[in-house]
Each structure stands twice: as structure tokens, then as C-alpha cells.
Structure 1
């Protein structure tokens, strides 16, 4: 696994590479980076048809690009916060989807750490641990 952090806009990532972000079970997507995901890719009914549950990874495909929606909010609603355990479960689910689909490049924001308030150092360690033996490049985009 290769892990790198860059400054810039996540939506400038190469169009053939996967994207991912965290959402609540209700798929509200009304704040933070979830808003441009909803605006750019739509698909809320398609996501709801996949049966959103906490710990699950939902997928949309747009122009051949997988877009992963990690259901991390423990109390189901958009204004609640995730736990590290919920994030770990969704990352493992996403990993399985990525490996089975042959996805080798993933672009993410600092998942779980903006409005969701998890500790980026701990989340980074978690991502590195989960993907440590996999042939994947993970690029984290930050506007800071």
C-alpha cells in the first residue's frame, strides 16, 4: 500500500480513480464534503436501494468510477458523530469491495475528521493498518 497526503481539491483526482467519504445512514448529505458528492454524483435513491446500515459501504459508479459511501454515523442521523469502530468496519467493507473489483487507487478527504471530529492521526494509522498488504494507492486530499 502506498499512502500519501496532498493539498488540493479531492474532485481534481484522476477521473478513473475511486473516491470515498463518510455519510450517515439517513444519507442526508447536507454539510461538509458530502454536499458536493451529492451534487456531483446524485444517486441517493440508488444508495438507499442498497440498504444503508451502519458499518456498510455503499457504492455508486459514475463514468466507470467507483464512489464509496461509508456509513459511519452510529446513531443513524447526519448530526450524530461516528466512532472509530464504525469507521473501521466501513473501511474493511470498502476494502473488500475494492479488492474484488480490482480498484487500485482511492482518493479520500480526511475521512471522519472534519465535521465528524475523529482524530486524524488515529484514522491514518487505521487506514494504514487495514490496507497494509494491499496493492492500492490511497491519496488523501486536504484543503489546509
Structure 2
């Protein structure tokens, strides 16, 4: 392999999809999501009924409250409810009707698009999240991470994904 081919191979590994913006990035951290900087927006998936009775959603519910505020927004699957808390945005991706159901990739994609729009309209530059849809909801991270790249690659938003 010549040096040009080696360089091409390195570029392929570091940037699997072409980026229209120098600012877009996806980082991975091991640790507690809530240890992220206090000014970073947060995101996770919930159901339209806003039950938040299992998984990381229970921590969001306890930490940020606002269930009545979320329900009042009347968001449906494929949309994104939003709370403003302590100088940060907290995004609730509505990916299914009821807590007992499983989300679809389509509903997740639509809710990510809605979140992206809100981020762009409100100057959000940093967003932290768990491996959304891949815990109790059992979506495949390989598909979800590609979806994140496709949706956010034309932005200047830095996304950090936390795993314990």
C-alpha cells in the first residue's frame, strides 16, 4: 500500500460519513451522564404517556421533574418535548405511544430531527445522552449511531454519548 492509500484508509476510519461542517462530532464517555458539564443539553427517549418508570428515565424524572409540563406539550411519537432547567435544555424524544411498547427506528429518527431543529433554533452546541433507544428499548446502537451522524453531520453540534 502506498502512502496515499494509507492516508485514505486513515480518513475512512476517522470519518465514516462525509461532514459538511467542521463542528459536528460524536464522542464517547464512560461514566455518569449527569456528570457532563452543567450547560450541556441532555436527551433521552420516553413514551407519549410520560411514565418514565424504568431505566435512566426514572433519574430524569426525579432530577428535572416537570411531568405535567411535558404532558401539556401534547407531543406524539416522532416529536420531541423540551424542558428548560438550570440554564440547559432537556430533550425528551417521544419514540412510542405507551411505556410498555417498543420504539421504531422511524419514530426515533423523526424525534431526533425535531430535537435537531430545536437545537439549531436555540444555539445548542453541546448535547449529552445515553445510548438512546438501546437500553430497555433494545434498538441496535450500530443503527442509532449512524442515524445520529446522518441527522447531525451538517451542524456544529458536539454530541457526547455516555455509557456506565
Q: TM-score, normalised by structure 1?
A: 0.97
In structure 2, the partner of 1:52 is: 75
Offset, 1:85: 0.4
Distance 2:122 2:158 in 1: 15
Instruction: Please identify the structure whose Cα radius of gyration is greater.
Output: 2
| Aligned residue in 2 for 1:87 | 108
Deviations 1:79-137, CA, capped at 9 Å, x for gaps: 10001000000000000000000000000000000000000011000001100110010
Q: Note the 1:1-144 alignment, pairs <5 A.
A: 1-73=24-96, 76-143=97-164
Aligned-residue offset at 1:64:
1.1
CA offset at residue 77 of structure 1?
Answer: 0.8
In structure 2, what is the Cα distance between the partners aligned to 1:79 and 1:111? 17
Question: For this pair of structures, how many residues does the alignment match?
Answer: 141
The Cα shift of 1:6 comes to 0.9
Structure 2 Cα separation of the partners of residues 34 and 63 of structure 1: 18
Greater than 4 Å deviation, 4+ residue runs: none
Q: Give the deviation of 1:52 after TM superposition.
A: 2.1
CA shift digits 1:36-79 (9 cap, x unpaired): 00000000000111112111100001111100000001xx1101
> Is there any run of 5+ residues in structure 1 with no aligned partner, and where?
none
TM-score, normalization by structure 2: 0.85
Over aligned residue pairs, what C-alpha RMSD do you find? Answer: 0.5
